């Protein structure tokens, strides 16, 4: 029934497109007012208007909005939209509705980089860059292991991804074991659980271009993912350049995931939860699933971030919240529409 | 000549030659049926001749050009391939599945639009499967799915269509539906076809040529009525068969019924005794 409302002739209705485009910004504006310092809508609009037109506004409100909240929200949009669409792409790549970008080994690789950088007392930008490099490197290894003369074997991609993951996880444990338990270890643990606390425009400048490129690539190739998710022989017989398509897709997923994790640590669940929600609304056609995943992912993560900084006095880690809220919500949705889970 | 195979050999990476010195021609408006016992490499043959698997030696020529030199898009806008097993990780509707058949004609960043959608709906109407356009492919019956996959193959406007056991697992009604459809495509619309089948009767009903492989790696090819005689089938499948000829609406239909296994020892004995015994056995 929802599908009829959203779709006509296999495409989104105009109002659905408008809703998908407007949902994240509306939620962003709504969430901007919440936080340690509560800003009622009137104050919010007044401050934003005065600042944007170059006049004097309440300096405290201005700082809270423009220096703290907007970077966080922008980061949540980039990471949420990116991970949502990377998850959907990953599921098509592996023709498995349970696949997530973590399978490629990118998450654990990125984490090793971050831990190493924290132990070596790098600054924030240093941590981010090292994490990103390690994430890219780990997928490079996975990709090399799984490509043979005849292209990329999906089975080998899964196997080498799992192996690289566990290898890097072991390295993580080793590094944590050797880290200073008074100073470095808590910092590492907190970083690994994910947070937008350190959000800044500079961080966004380093991290978001790769997310944007990866997301754009996936968006443009989205219809081809349908074919990719058929059987190996059918995909080969479709006329698409299978090897090139798979490499491109792995690269796009890696760029998004490595950038996201390097910006804000681990944010679990988005890559699994969001594409499934999208599929429940639109069906399995990736032409529709991808844009819906981007919109839902961005909106979801803004909400999660707002909850993380308003629920309690201390900030709650992102991955804790995505799991605590995401898992029951997901189960509820699945129960409601079991037919979509195939 | 649509497709020509010259001296094709294939062996699995683990070793073990499976196809040896295969040569065959597929012509416009003709259907070639491929027969043989389980495990002799019928599906492998289909994959090798279309370049999904690479020949170890020998080559395939598509419209006179070596298939290895062609880009995937060039190959698959002329050939449609319907593999044997079908399970889909995601539930696509019948219409979405048919539209996917256009992939070889769309650029890498292109999306199928209203044009492709109308094309697909038109084709589905022609095949009388409009009712399946909204149905989930994972919930279709074997016959419904096979018709959708034929539509997916046809929307590509292929010169050659390759079918791997299209009638296996279908009931009588659906078998006839699918076979009639293929028959019409080949003999009225002039598409070339290659079909793997386990049923000599079906091959005799709609194919023009037959290519029969046996366990020893040798094969016989030629006109379907000459290849699929009792003696050849007995040798390839190691079963005694009875051939019946039925007349229906002025057409002579041949049906081949397997009646008895030929024991392994008898086979060995027969080989020692020579050719005359072979004939005796098949006459029985």
Mean pLDDT value of segment A204-215: 93
Mean pLDDT value of segment A145-155: 81
Contact of B88 with chain A, judged by CB distance below 8 Å, is answered with: yes
Residue A326 or residue A113, greater confidence: A113
Is A14 inside a domain boundary? no
Nearest beta carbon to residue B111 from set A95, A231, A287: A287
Nearest to A226 by CA among B78, B96, B4, B2: B96
What per-residue confidence (pLDDT) applies to A47? 85
Mean pLDDT value of segment B97-124: 92
Mean pLDDT of chain B: 88
- Give tens-digit pLDDT for A92-108: 999 888 888 888 999 99
Residue A124 or residue B132, greater confidence: B132
Residue A215 has pLDDT above 70, yes or no: yes
Is A231 inside a domain boundary? yes
Q: How far apart are CA B284 and CA B264, in angstroms?
A: 18
Contact of A7 with chain B, judged by CB distance below 8 Å, is answered with: no
Band of residue B283 on the pLDDT scale cut at 50, 70, 90: very low
Task: Count up the domains in chain A and report the number.
Answer: 1
Residue A332 has pLDDT above 50, yes or no: yes
Is A152 inside a domain boundary? yes
Nearest beta carbon to residue B89 from set A95, A239, A240: A95
Q: Is B103 in contact with A239 (Cβ distance < 8 A)? A: yes
Residue B232 has pLDDT above 50, yes or no: yes
- Give tens-digit pLDDT for A40-74: 888 888 888 888 888 887 888 888 888 889 999 99
What per-residue confidence (pLDDT) applies to A259? 92
Q: Which two tokens stand for residue B160?
A: 């050659």
Mean pLDDT value of segment B163-172: 90
B chain contacts of residue A245, beta-carbon cutoff 8 Å: 108
Mean pLDDT value of segment A206-223: 94
What is the architecture of the domain spanning B1-78+158-228? 3-Layer(aba) Sandwich (3.40)
What per-residue confidence (pLDDT) applies to B270? 52
Contact of B12 with chain A, judged by CB distance below 8 Å, is answered with: no
Nearest to A85 by CA among A330, A286, A331: A286
Contact of A339 with chain B, judged by CB distance below 8 Å, is answered with: yes
Residue A24 has pLDDT above 90, yes or no: yes
Is A124 inside a domain boundary? yes
Is A334 inside a domain boundary? yes
Residue B280 has pLDDT above 60, yes or no: no
Can you give the CATH number for the domain in which A35 is found? 1.10.3470.10
Q: Is B103 in contact with A230 (Cβ distance < 8 A)? A: no
Residue A195 has pLDDT above 80, yes or no: yes
Range of the domain at A57: 20-340
% of chain B surpassing 70 pLDDT: 93
Strand partners, B10: B19
Residues 105-164 of B with CB under 8 A from A: 105-106, 108-112, 114, 117, 136, 138
What per-residue confidence (pLDDT) applies to A50? 86
Nearest beta carbon to residue A227 from set B50, B80, B100: B100
Mean pLDDT of chain A: 89
Strand partners, B195: B33, B163
Mean pLDDT value of segment A127-150: 88
Angle, CA of B104, B109 and B115, to the nearest 5°: 65
Is A11 inside a domain boundary? no
Band of residue B274 on the pLDDT scale cut at 50, 70, 90: very low
- Give tens-digit pLDDT for A222-263: 999 999 999 888 999 998 988 889 989 999 999 999 999 989
Q: How far is B130 from chain A (nearest CA, A)?
A: 14
What is the secondary structure of A233-260 as a DSSP string? HHHHTTSS-HHHHHHHHHHHHHHHHHHH
Is A12 inside a domain boundary? no
What per-residue confidence (pLDDT) applies to A197? 85
Is A170 inside a domain boundary? yes
Give the domain ranges of chain B: 1-78+158-228, 88-156, 230-284
For residues A150-183, b (16+ Cβ closer than 10 Å) or e, as one string?
A: ebbebeebbebbeebbebbbebbeebbeebeeee
Band of residue A329 on the pLDDT scale cut at 50, 70, 90: confident
What per-residue confidence (pLDDT) applies to B284? 39
Q: Which two tokens stand for residue A100?
A: 């997530």
């Amino acid at each position: 029934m929802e599908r009829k409302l959203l779709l006509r002739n296999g495409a989104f209705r105009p109002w659905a497109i408008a809703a998908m485009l407007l949902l994240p910004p509306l939620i962003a504006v709504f969430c901007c007012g919440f936080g340690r310092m509560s800003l009622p809508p009137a104050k919010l609009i007044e401050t934003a208007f005065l600042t944007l037109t170059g006049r004097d506004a309440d300096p405290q409100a201005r700082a809270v909005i423009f220096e703290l909240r907007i970077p966080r929200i922008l980061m949540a949009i980039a990471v949420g939209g990116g991970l949502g669409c990377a998850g959907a792409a990953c599921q098509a790549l592996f023709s498995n509705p349970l696949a997530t970008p973590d399978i490629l080994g990118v998450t654990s690789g990125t984490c090793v980089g971050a831990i190493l950088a924290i132990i070596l007392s790098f600054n924030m930008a240093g941590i981010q860059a090292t994490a990103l490099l390690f994430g890219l490197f780990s997928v490079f290894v996975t990709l090399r292991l799984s490509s043979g003369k005849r292209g990329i074997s999906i089975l080998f991609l899964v196997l080498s991804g799992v192996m690289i993951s566990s290898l890097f996880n072991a390295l993580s444990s080793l590094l944590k074991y050797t880290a200073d338990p008074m100073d470095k270890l808590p910092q590492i643990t907190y970083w690994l659980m994910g947070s937008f606390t350190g959000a800044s425009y500079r961080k966004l400048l380093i991290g978001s271009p790769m997310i944007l490129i990866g997301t754009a690539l996936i968006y443009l190739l989205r219809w081809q993912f349908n074919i990719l998710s058929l059987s190996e022989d059918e995909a080969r017989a479709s006329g698409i350049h299978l090897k090139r398509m798979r490499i491109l897709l792995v690269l796009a997923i890696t760029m998004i995931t490595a950038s996201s994790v390097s910006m804000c640590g681990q944010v679990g669940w988005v890559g699994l939860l969001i594409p499934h929600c999208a599929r429940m609304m639109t069906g399995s056609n990736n032409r529709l699933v991808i844009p819906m995943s981007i919109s839902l992912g961005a909106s979801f993560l803004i909400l999660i971030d707002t909850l993380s900084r308003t629920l309690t006095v201390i900030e709650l880690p992102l991955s804790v919240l995505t799991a605590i809220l995401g898992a029951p919500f997901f189960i509820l949705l699945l129960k409601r529409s079991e037919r979509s889970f195939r | 000549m649509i497709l020509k195979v010259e001296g094709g050999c294939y062996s699995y990476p683990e070793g073990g030659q499976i196809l040896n010195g295969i040569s065959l021609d597929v012509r416009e408006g003709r259907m070639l049926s491929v027969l043989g016992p389980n495990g002799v490499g019928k599906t492998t043959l289909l994959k090798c001749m279309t370049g999904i698997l690479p020949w170890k030696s020998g080559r395939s020529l598509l419209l006179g050009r070596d298939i290895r030199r062609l880009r995937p898009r060039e190959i698959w806008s002329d050939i449609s391939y319907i593999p044997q097993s079908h399970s889909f990780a995601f539930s696509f509707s019948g219409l979405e599945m048919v539209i996917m058949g256009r992939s070889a004609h769309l650029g890498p960043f292109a999306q199928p639009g209203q044009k492709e959608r109308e094309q697909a709906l038109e084709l589905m109407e022609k095949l009388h499967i409009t009712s399946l356009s909204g149905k989930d492919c994972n919930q279709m019956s074997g016959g419904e799915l096979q018709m959708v996959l034929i539509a997916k193959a046809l929307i590509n406007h292929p010169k050659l269509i390759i079918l791997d056991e299209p009638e296996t697992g279908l009931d009588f009604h659906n078998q006839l539906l699918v076979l009639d459809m293929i028959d019409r495509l080949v003999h009225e619309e002039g598409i070339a076809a290659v079909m793997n089948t386990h049923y000599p009767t079906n091959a005799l009903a709609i194919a023009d040529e037959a290519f029969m492989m046996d366990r020893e790696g040798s094969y016989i090819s030629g006109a379907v009525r000459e290849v699929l005689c009792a003696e050849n089938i007995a040798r390839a499948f190691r079963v005694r068969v009875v051939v019946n000829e039925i007349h229906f609406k002025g057409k002579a239909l041949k049906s081949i019924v397997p009646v008895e296994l030929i024991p392994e020892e008898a086979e060995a004995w027969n080989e020692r005794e020579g050719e005359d015994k072979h004939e005796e056995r098949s006459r029985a």
